[in-house]
């Protein structure tokens, strides 16, 4: 009975070794010479100038939501493209309706100036 679970146990052990092995080797073999310059906080190569909890402009969130929206659009299009022959004309027209709705929404956001950075 336990022989059936040995490949799973082996897979878990090898996965842990592959994940933790390089981290442990880096910790053991890498030189460790901390100084004040290395331990100081920085942001993009220069000193931090504001609090990390500052408020962001709404446009950052809007662009992030639009990115997720169009990323999900592509995620829906790949499986659709795989089974397009089985779906036939109905599947093709349904995807065109889906893309038309997304295009109308994108044009609306663009015309409202939501993508402008000024």
Mean pLDDT by 10 residues, the chain (118 residues): 89 96 94 81 62 72 83 87 92 92 89 79
pTM of the model: 0.49
**76 close to 98: Cβ distance less than 8 angstroms:** yes
**Which one, of 106, 107, 112, lies nearest residue 67 by Cα?**
106
CA distance 97 to 77: 13
**115 close to 63: Cβ distance less than 8 angstroms:** yes
- pLDDT, residue 83, reads 93
115 CB neighbour count, 10 Å cutoff = 13
């Amino acid at each position: 009975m336990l022989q059936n679970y040995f490949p799973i146990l082996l897979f878990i052990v090898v996965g842990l070794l592959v994940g933790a092995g390089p981290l442990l080797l880096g910790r053991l073999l890498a030189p460790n010479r901390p100084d004040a310059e290395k331990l100081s906080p920085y942001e993009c190569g220069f000193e931090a100038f504001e609090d990390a909890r500052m408020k962001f402009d709404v446009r950052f969130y809007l662009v992030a939501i639009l990115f997720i929206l169009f990323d999900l659009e592509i995620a829906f299009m790949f499986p659709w493209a795989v089974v397009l022959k089985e779906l036939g004309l109905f599947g093709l027209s349904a995807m065109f309706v889906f893309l038309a709705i997304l295009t109308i929404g994108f044009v609306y956001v663009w015309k409202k100036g939501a993508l402008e950075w000024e």
